[in-house]
Structure 1
Amino acid sequence: MALPRRIPVRFEDVFPHGAFVLGVEAARDFVKAQAGEADVQERDKDTGEPLWTVRVMDPDPTARAGSAEVKVKMAAAVMPVTPEPLAGTMLRPVEFIGLTVMPWVNSNGPRAVQAFAYRATGLRAPRATTGKAAA
């Protein structure tokens, strides 16, 4: 049995306390940028669509050592539109649709570290749920 390169995961398993959008930006293709190309936005290898990086804050204090920021890439013809902020705040809760994870090894530094790359097919305002994610 072959294991898929991108492993489907439930949003609730990756972000049990939810997630909040910090920003959306074009994913930069560093090889194109170094070559001096005009269009330096990264493209999806399967569809050819532009890739967008959605930066989110994970409010779970024990989830990730060192940083609460997580980046999730999305392929879309136009920049994804984020949900409206919660009333009276700047916080934009988000739920990712079609979330996948790809494990990889980050060998930049004194020792190799396990890392994860996240992709999603869409995003939306969170549905009403129970448990920790609704808190």
Structure 2
Amino acid sequence: MADFNGEKRTDGSRRQQHNKETGLPLWQCVVIDGDEDAGRKEIGVTVKFAAKYQPVPPENKSGFPWTPVEFVGLTALPYVDDNGMRPRIAWSFRATDLVAPGQGGAKAGPKAAA
């Protein structure tokens, strides 16, 4: 994610944005809903990551033309978007990692003994 609040470099590029709390670089990916009935505003969302290294999606073994993923530590933060003709509730999605479906529990750490 480019830091649009920071100064431009001499070549015109911008530095990468960093998380204000952790200092880690910020990354983002666009997630697309494969539902043919999804509306134009529902078809995709952006998920942001604060991580030392760029998150890499798992290998696509699904047979679908897109790669199914599971987000680890996914949070949804509501905010008021007042850039349009009238304010609306919008969402900011953040995660700590993305993994193959069903592998999120393995990334979350050891499970407690029952």
- Matched residue, 1:109: 84
Counterpart CA distance in 2 for 1:66 and 1:60 is: 12
Q: Do structure 1's residue 86 and structure 2's residue 58 form an aligned pair?
A: no
- Aligned with 1:49 (options 24, 29, 43): 24
Say whether the 8 Å CA contact 2:82–2:88 is kept in structure 1: yes
Structure 2 equivalent of residue 36 of structure 1: 8
For residues 1-135 of structure 1, what are the structure 2 equivalents within 5 Å?
Answer: 27-32=1-6, 35-37=7-9, 40-60=15-35, 66-86=41-61, 88-127=63-102
* TM-score calculated relative to the size of structure 2: 0.75
Task: Report the equivalent of 1:4.
Answer: none
Quote the offset at 1:65 in angstroms.
5.3
CA drift of 1:85 comes to 1.4
AA at the equivalent of 1:28: A
Moved more, 117-126 or 51-60: 51-60
Q: How much has 1:74 moved relative to structure 2?
A: 0.5
CA offset at residue 101 of structure 1? 1.1
Higher helix content, 1 or 2: 1
Native 8 Å contact 2:69 2:99 kept in 1: yes
SS in structure 1 of the partner of residue 5 of structure 2: helix
TM-align CA RMSD:
2.3
Please identify which structure carries the higher strand content: 1
**Residue-pair matches, total:** 100
CA deviations over 1:88-123 (Å, ceiling 9, x no partner)? 554211000001111001101211111000000111
Separation (CA, whole Å) in 2 of partners of 1:63 and 1:100: 22
Aligned residue identity for 1:98:
G
Distance 1:87 1:99, change over 3 A: closer
Q: Relative to structure 1, is the Cα distance of residues 63 and 90 closer, same or farther in structure 2, using a 3 angstrom cutoff?
A: closer
- Give, in whole Å, the separation in 1 of the partners of 2:75 and 2:5: 24
1:50-104 CA distances to partner (integer Å, 9 max, x unpaired)?
0000211123456665241111100111111111113555421100000111100
Gaps of at least 5 residues in structure 2 are 104-114
